[in-house]
Structures are given as C-alpha cells and as structure tokens.
Amino acid sequence: MTHLSPPLAWLIRTAAFLLVCLALFPATGAERLNSPLKLTQEEEIFIRDHPTIRVHNETDWPPFNFYENGRPQGFSIDYMNMLADMIGIKVEYVTGPTWGEFLEKMKDGSLDVMLNIVKTPERQKYLLYTESYAFNPNSILSRRNTPYDSLEQLFGKTVALPKGFFYEEILKRDFPRIKLHLTKDVTESMKAVVFGKADAALGELAVFNYLMGREMMPGLVLSGEVKLGGSHYSELNIATRKDQPILVSILRKAVATIPPEKIKVLRQRWISVAGATTPVLTPALTPEETAWINAHTTIRMAALRDWPPFDYQDEGGKHAGISAELTKLAASRVGLRLEPVFDDWDVLLGKLKDKKLDMVGSIYRTPQRESFVEFTEPYLELYDAIFTTDTTTDIFSASDLIGRTVAVEKGFYTIDLLKKDFPGIKLLIVDNTLDALKAVSSGKADAYIGTQYVGSYLIKKFIISNLKTVGFLGDDPNKIYMGIRKDWPVLRDILNKGLASISDEEKQQILRKFIILDSGGAKKTNLIKLTDDEKAWLADHKHMRFGVDPGYPPFEFIDDDGVFSGMSSDYVRLVSERLGITMELVPGLSWVEVLDGVKNHTLDFTPALSPTVERNEHMNFTPPHMAFPAVIVTRDNHALVNGLEDLSGTTAALVKAVAVTDIVTAWHPGIITEMFDTPLQALQSVALGKTDATVMNLAVVTYLIKKHGLANLKIAAPAEVDIQGLSFGVRKDWPEFISIINKALASITPEEESAIRSRWAQVSYNTGIDIKQVIQAGGVVIVILIVIVVWNRRLQIEVNQRKVAEGQMKAAKNEAERLTIAKSDFIAVISHEIRTPMNGVLGMARLLTETKLDNEQEECVDTIVESGEALLTIIDDLLDISKFDAGKLDIESIP
C-alpha cells in the first residue's frame, strides 16, 4: 500500500470537501454565477430540493400562453423561461387541461405555478402572487350588428367566457342579471358569439386581437371595455400555491430584477407595441440550398384570380392577398423571385402536377395532393363554413344537406371530401366562390360549403343580403400550406426557412392590410360621435329595410345573378358597418314602388336619388354623396344639338320618376316626351330611331352604351339643368336618422370614395368622352390651323410682290386679286368649319370639369380648354383679316 505525504493527503481531502459542497449546492454553481439575485440560505435550499417546477401551459391563449408547433409559446412562456434562467431552475410545462382544471391542480398540489393569472379575492384563499408583469385591458366582443359597450347593456343577455376565468367569479357576485355561457377556451367563446349561442364574450384585448387575426372569424367587433372596479383586474401575475411562500419569494425577486430592455423585446415580439419593430431574421441556408437558389432565381407560382382576401388578381392585374404577400415575403427572405401565373384552380393544379408550374402559395393538404405536391409548414388556419339563405331554418350541419344541392368550387378539396363523407349530397360545381354564393342566393343550390372568411368577405363586398352562416364543417380549422412540385423538396426546405423568418408582427401587419379586423371596424365606428339621444334611437332601430332602382347603373342595379351592385352598394355597406346595424334590401321592386315604399314607410330609405320639391314632402335628404352632370344623347346622324332648346318639337325618351325628367317636362314644354321605366329602355328607343333624344346622367349613359353596345349613340351636349347630386332619402318620420347617417357618410374617407368611383365609374368616362380622343382631335385642329396660318402668310407675301409690280403686270394684279378673294372665301369657310367642332371640343372639355377627375386628368382638360380658347382667338383674327380684305372692316389708327 502506498502512503501519501501529509501535504498531498491534505490537498486530496480539501478537493473532496469542495466536490461535496458542489453536489449539495448545485444552484450556487455555473448556472447562477452571473445572476443578480440575492437569495437567502432558505431560498437556496428550496432550489436545491426543487430543481424542477411544474408550470401551466394553455393550449390556446395567444399571444401570452399557448401551444403550437410542438412546444409552449407566447409572452408568458418566454417571460417564465427568462425567470428560470435567472434563478437556475428547470421548468416542466404542463399542457392540455382547461383553465378550471389548472386551478384544481393548484389546489391539489399537482401544479406549482400559474402564469398570466388575475388576482381575485377567491383565488387569494389558495394562491400567492408576484407583482404583475403585463397589463391587458378586459374587453367585450360582440357581433358587429349588435355591439355592447358596457356590462350594464348585457343585463338579461348571455355572455360567453371560459370556465374558471376570473370573470365567472366577478359576474356571479356583482352582475347576477347577466347569463353565463361557459366554454373550454377563448376560441370557443368567440364561436359562441358568431353562431348566436351568446350575445357577447368577455376576454383580454390582446388575446381577442390575436385570435381575430388568426382564426378569420368575421362579423365580430371589439365593442367596449370591461370595467370591474379596479385596474388590477387587467393585470397579469404569476401565482404559486399557498403552501409555497419560499417559491413566490424567489419569483418576486426575479420579477423585480428583469431588465426593462428584455421586457421591451418580449412586447415587441408578442404584443406588437405601437411603433415597435421586430428585427428581421436572416434564414441560415446550407451551401447546397444557396447553390440551388442561384440556379433557380425565378419561381413560377400558381395564382388564383378570385379567392379574396387571400389569393386574387387586383384591378391592376397584380397578384394580391394575404397568401400572396406572405409567400412573396418568405421568398424575398431567401433571395427568390416569384412569377405569378393566373388561371382557374383546377388548371393550376394540373400544371403543378405536370411540373409546368413550380409552386402554389395557398393550398389545403389532402392525401390525393400528396402524390404530386411537397408541403411547407402551415402558415394560416381557416375554418370551412356552411352558407344558406337567411330564410333556411332546417340546415345546421353537413348531414342536414343529404339529398340537397351544395355549390362547390371546381377543383377545390371540398368536392372529394363531400363525395367521401357525405355521398348523399348533390354537388353543383361552379367556377369560383362568388358563383357558389350567387347560386345559393338565387336558389340554384341549397347551401355553399367553403372557407368561412372568403365567403363572408365576398358577401360583404357584393352585399348579397339574403345569405347567412349556419355552422362549421368540422370542429378543427384547415391549415394553409405552400405547395411545391414533388421533385423539388429543396425548395420546400428553403421556403420553410423563409416562413420561419417572418415574425408574428409582420404577419399581423399583412393581415390588417387585407382584412378589416373588427377592432379596426370598432375604431371607425367610435370615430362617429353620436349624441346620447342618437345612440338610444339607433339602439331601437338595429334593422332597416331599403329599396333601390333595379336598373340605374353604375349607381345602383341588380345584376344578372340577382345581386345588389353599383356605387350605392358600397356606400350602404360602409354606412351599415360604421353604424353597426343591418340594412336589408327588399328585392323585386320597381323604382316607382321604391319611392312609394319610402313614402308609405314600408321602406326606411333609398340610397341614391336627387331631392325635388315633391320628394321633400315625404322624405328627408342627406347632402349628395355622388354627382355627375346630365347630358343630351342622340344618334350619330342627328342634327347638331347645343342644348335642350334645340330639342323643341322633337321627341325625347325620358325615364319615369327621375329628377331630370321633372325638370325637362316643367321647363321645356316644347319637347314631346315619351316615358320609359328604365334608362336602358330610353337609350334603346333612341338607338332604334323611335325617339330623337334622351336626357339622363352622364355616368349612366356611358355605362349602358358600353355594356349594351349602343354604338350609334353619342353624347350631343350637356343638358345644363340645375339638378342636385344623389343623396340618401329617408322616410319623413325619421328625422333622427338623417343626423346619424350624415355622420356616417362624413366618416367615409377620400380613399374609400376614390376606390368606389374607380371600381364602378372609372371606365365609363372613356366610353362617352375619351380624353385621349379629345386631345387627338384638338391636335388635328391645331395642324389645320397651322397650315392655314402658313398659307395665309405665303399668300400675303405673294400679294405684296404683285402689288409692287402692278403697273407693269396688270395680269398679275388681276391674278393676285383673284387669289386674295379666294383666300378670304377659304378663310371664312374653313374658320366656320373649324369653329363648330372646336366649340364641341370645348363643350365636352368643360363638361368633363364638372365630373370628378384625378390631378393628371384635370391638367389635360385645362390644357384642352386653354388651347381651344387660344385657337378660337386665332380664328377670330383670321376672320377679321378676311373681312378687311373684302372691304367689310375698317381699321382706325388712334394715336
């Protein structure tokens, strides 16, 4: 046996002692060498004895606490991880139970920590709290058409909230008149409001905002703040069990020590503080992926024309939508350029399968598609819903549709799904979602099954007022992926990295761009400052009925599929959204019946008519919100018409019950009139030669001439009648509504009005009066006048030369006199021929100035008017020269 020297033995004993100490007190080691926490010995021993703590993780409470992509996520999760690192302790997240079940686990000791929990008297009996770490205002979520802005308004109503949430305790104790509908989580509470199981839901502002963007549940609005008596009800805390005072002491010290900069980073990432920005993450690509990108810089991407707001072709022909922008952003992050290829969905899928396209930006995953598509990670979740007419009362689920007809889009996955799971359903296959909705609206199908937000978006956009959502197709949402051709898995991997680099804040910004999130709708509603009396009146008049002229495009009309269309449809939609009320179109009425309906109070208003003395007796009017001048229309071969006076003795086709008709018949009795029910009938009468002219709105004329190919008609002249623009006409016994609707109209932004005009009326200007054509015509006139001026100068020189040689060349003199006479005659004739069309050019140009033009168009029109007036001055000068040469004009010199 070998004996150690005393110094060596002492060294070994000392090292052994230190190792034992490290084993006994691991928290004092490397994990906490840099921690600023100053813990007591008792707290150090607690950490040694409890190296892991069990912390609650909810499945669906974003952006604070949720489970996604196989791991806990959210502001509270990141915050807890930060605390654990400071303390030197491990966290075991417990995922799956409901909120109420988590509270029971705290009571029975099977859970150590609750995150994002509000302090209440009942909970303080068994929980200990840290200081709050986040402030999240409590909000009321309502349906857009029935908003509630206070708890008092919910007396007698049903409110949805997750079982065990602190609201349950407060409402049962302090607000017993409110009925409770308890759910398992916030998403289920929102669904309860969507489908009428509850009138409203209570929850936190940031949570509702996040879920409305993610779940795409339309028709909901953040309508008010829940005021429960103290700001502490909006504060989120960390809580431990009552029997763990040492743990709560440790957590309190850690909460107090976290630097504010780290909290700011968390807020920027999860809650999108105003003005905050999230750093752009640069995807880490492998050398192989970088080489592949260098060889494939442009990717051919399938693009839908008509799946708004996710994937569609905008009015400028560009690829637009939520999926389009997210896909482009992901591609740009990895250095790829996307080239959209537009076509029908079934054609696009075929091209992807045949590798004639490289990818699609938005696609559902199905077993059939997996045979020819590689799928990225999902980036959106959407629900499929069932749409029926609002008179349907016996359809609530897909099983209720067996034996009935369901409209579905050609090539969409719902065809295979319904054939497999519901073979008894008859399918009506249509080209796109709008056609599917129109089929249901017109009775060709009993229901439509498709993406809830797309259907709701189109119903709102086109005001298909007789449709409703009755239920979801299944309980779980569908995930949207990018789809890649099967032989390019490397592109899938690259785009996954691009998707991963997109922050939640960036995604929310894109969502807000294309979706009118209901919190934003609420904000616009709140911008309308109503008096208490107006609010009370509106609360009693949540549903209104209106009628329209069925054939007055582009202002208002019923299209071939029975859908309310035109500029009025957009104004009605915006007003109803601003006021939070429903406006129901009563179909099947003629214009005369609409006017009688408002007069007799069977209708509440009509959105587009001009005030007249007669109408003022039974209607109140808003200021005009649409205005175009009235014009005279004749056939191309009709004699020149400068105004209504020139129509005396001729027959004019006029439209019944229209303001301009009243003016023409009252002020121009010499015009023979023939009445028609619609503007189209009047125009057709003129085109066929049955009548000589018609007088009507410029926008209506140009729209109908183009749409119906009435090529032998022309706009002859402005009618120059004193007529107001188009207003909302409201029943006379509702003076309160005029003030309210005026405020709603005033809240419509110039950008929104411009979008309405561009959508419905922009092309019409080109039909009647093409600015380019006017400019071209002016250019021709200018050329002719230049020729005249040059020729006149040459003739004048020749005349002067001949006069000098008058004594020697009498014959030349006679010839010169003959040429002078010819020149004068020519100038007189040609000046008259130029003056007439030039007056027409100027008349049409001045008419254009009465319409709404953009800056570039205004400059063009001003140039035409100025140039035309200058040319008329030149013509007058030429005529003076002609008169002088003919001896009909004396020139007097005045010193």
Which whole number is the average pLDDT over 552-558?
90
Query: What's the pLDDT score for residue 15?
Result: 45
Could you report the per-residue pLDDT of 651-677, keeping only the tens digit for each?
999 999 888 998 899 999 999 999 999
Identify whether the C-beta of residue 857 lies closer than 8 Å to the C-beta of residue 762. Answer: no
In degrees to the nearest 10, what's the CA dihedral of 175, 180, 184, 186? -70
Question: Are 115 and 152 contained in the same domain?
Answer: no
- Domain assignment present for residue 332? The answer is yes
Q: Where are the beta strands (DSSP E) in 192-289?
A: 200-204, 220-225, 235-241
Identify whether the C-beta of residue 353 lies closer than 8 Å to the C-beta of residue 526. Answer: no
Question: Are 760 and 784 contained in the same domain?
Answer: no
Question: Are 36 and 105 contained in the same domain?
Answer: yes
Answer whether residue 843 shows pLDDT above 90. no
Identify whether the C-beta of residue 247 lies closer than 8 Å to the C-beta of residue 46. Answer: yes
Query: What's the pLDDT score for residue 840?
Result: 67
Question: Are 83 and 98 contained in the same domain?
Answer: yes
Nearest to 885 by CA among 802, 821, 829: 821
CA distance 316 to 613: 43
Query: Which one of 318-322, 332-336, 430-434, 655-659 scores highest in mean pLDDT?
Result: 430-434
- The three-state secondary structure class of 809 is coil
Please, what is the angle between helix 810-849 and helix 855-885, to 10°?
A: 150
Answer whether residue 29 shows pLDDT above 50. no
Which whole number is the average pLDDT over 567-571?
90
Question: Are 448 and 349 contained in the same domain?
Answer: no
Q: Residue 358: give the domain boundaries.
A: 290-380+481-502
Query: What's the pLDDT score for residue 885?
Result: 61
Which whole number is the average pLDDT over 644-656?
94
- Domain assignment present for residue 894? The answer is no
Which whole number is the average pLDDT over 311-339?
88
Res. 274 pLDDT band, cuts 50 70 90: very low
CA distance 175 to 241: 29
Backbone dihedral angles phi then psi of residue 250, each to the nearest 5 degrees? -65, -45
Query: Which one of 132-146, 243-257, 752-766 scores highest in mean pLDDT?
Result: 243-257
- Domain assignment present for residue 613? The answer is yes
Which whole number is the average pLDDT over 635-657?
91
Q: Which of 203, 229, 255 is the last residue of a domain?
A: 229
CA distance 721 to 665: 12
Answer whether residue 523 shows pLDDT above 70. no
Res. 36 pLDDT band, cuts 50 70 90: low
- Domain assignment present for residue 1? The answer is no
What is the chain's mean pLDDT, rounded?
A: 82
Query: What's the pLDDT score for residue 494?
Result: 94
Res. 545 pLDDT band, cuts 50 70 90: very high
* Residue 636 parent element (H or E): none
Could you report the per-residue pLDDT of 223-248, keeping only the tens digit for each?
888 877 666 777 899 999 999 999 99
- The three-state secondary structure class of 881 is helix
Res. 533 pLDDT band, cuts 50 70 90: confident
Res. 285 pLDDT band, cuts 50 70 90: confident
Answer whether residue 828 shows pLDDT above 70. no
- Domain assignment present for residue 523? The answer is no
Res. 520 pLDDT band, cuts 50 70 90: very low
CA distance 862 to 853: 11
Query: What's the pLDDT score for residue 604?
Result: 96
Answer whether residue 894 shows pLDDT above 80. no
478 against 300, higher pLDDT: 300
Identify whether the C-beta of residue 522 lies closer than 8 Å to the C-beta of residue 147. Answer: yes
Which whole number is the average pLDDT over 559-581?
86
Query: What's the pLDDT score for residue 592?
Result: 92
Identify whether the C-beta of residue 323 lies closer than 8 Å to the C-beta of residue 311. Answer: yes
Beta carbons within 10 angstroms of residue 806's beta carbon: 11
Cβ neighbours for 890, distance < 8 A, ≥ 6 positions apart: none
Query: What's the pLDDT score for residue 765?
Result: 35
Beta carbons within 10 angstroms of residue 682's beta carbon: 29
How many H helices and E strands in the chain? Answer: 30, 41
The residue type at 822: A
Q: Residue for token digits 């976290």?
A: 258
Answer whether residue 703 shows pLDDT above 90. no
Region at 196 (left for phi over 0; alpha for psi -120 to 50; beta for the rest): left
Answer whether residue 208 shows pLDDT above 90. no
Helices (H), 162-215: 166-174, 186-194, 205-215
Which whole number is the average pLDDT over 594-605?
95
The 3-class SS string of 731-798 reads: ECCCHHHHHHHHHHHHCCCHHHHHHHHHHHCHHHHHHHCCHHHHHHHHHHHHHHHHHHHHHHHHHHHH
Res. 87 pLDDT band, cuts 50 70 90: very high
Could you report the per-residue pLDDT of 445-477, keeping only the tens digit for each?
999 999 988 998 888 888 888 898 888 887 778
Answer whether residue 722 shows pLDDT above 80. no
Q: Which long-range contacts (CB under 8 A, 24 or more apart) does 793-800 make?
A: 795/819, 795/820, 795/823
> What are the Cα distances from residue 37, in Å, to 140, 255, 258, 263, 841?
40, 10, 10, 17, 85
Res. 10 pLDDT band, cuts 50 70 90: very low
- Domain assignment present for residue 680? The answer is yes
Question: Are 223 and 315 contained in the same domain?
Answer: no
Beta carbons within 10 angstroms of residue 293's beta carbon: 18
Model pTM score: 0.38
Nearest to 422 by CA among 395, 440, 444: 395
Question: Are 486 and 470 contained in the same domain?
Answer: no
Query: What's the pLDDT score for residue 831?
Result: 61
Question: Are 443 and 535 contained in the same domain?
Answer: no
* Residue 681 parent element (H or E): helix 679-687
Which whole number is the average pLDDT over 326-330?
91
CA distance 856 to 844: 17
Backbone dihedral angles phi then psi of residue 91, each to the nearest 5 degrees? -115, 130
What CATH number is attached to the domain comprising 190?
A: 3.40.190.10
Q: Tell me the CA end-to-end span of the chain in Å, nearest whole number.
A: 145
Number of structural domains (the chain) is 7
Answer whether residue 811 shows pLDDT above 80. no
Beta carbons within 10 angstroms of residue 434's beta carbon: 22
Answer whether residue 684 shows pLDDT above 80. yes
Beta carbons within 10 angstroms of residue 373's beta carbon: 22
Could you report the per-residue pLDDT of 602-617, keeping only the tens digit for each?
999 999 998 988 899 9
> What are the Cα distances from residue 455, in Å, to 146, 186, 320, 409, 446?
21, 23, 17, 12, 15
Res. 31 pLDDT band, cuts 50 70 90: very low
Question: Are 168 and 117 contained in the same domain?
Answer: no
257 against 240, higher pLDDT: 240
- Domain assignment present for residue 519? The answer is no
Answer whether residue 23 shows pLDDT above 60. no
- Domain assignment present for residue 202? The answer is yes
Which whole number is the average pLDDT over 517-528?
42
Query: What's the pLDDT score for residue 276?
Result: 35
Strand order in the sheet with 727-731: 582-585, 543-546, 605-609, 727-731, 619-621
Give Cα 803 to chain centroid, integer Å: 78
The residue type at 560: D
Share of the chain above pLDDT 70, in %: 79
CA distance 358 to 487: 10
Answer whether residue 893 shows pLDDT above 70. no
Question: Are 376 and 488 contained in the same domain?
Answer: yes
Beta carbons within 10 angstroms of residue 531's beta carbon: 12
Nearest to 550 by CA among 626, 606, 611, 603: 606
**Cα angle: 368, vertex 369, 370; to 5 degrees:** 95
Answer whether residue 6 shows pLDDT above 60. no
Question: Are 496 and 433 contained in the same domain?
Answer: no
The residue type at 602: T
Res. 764 pLDDT band, cuts 50 70 90: very low
Share of the chain above pLDDT 90, in %: 42
Which whole number is the average pLDDT over 127-152?
87
Q: Could you tell me the sign of the dihedral formed by the alpha carbons of 351, 353, 356, 357, in that order?
A: positive
Question: Are 563 and 619 contained in the same domain?
Answer: yes
* Residue 478 parent element (H or E): strand 478-485
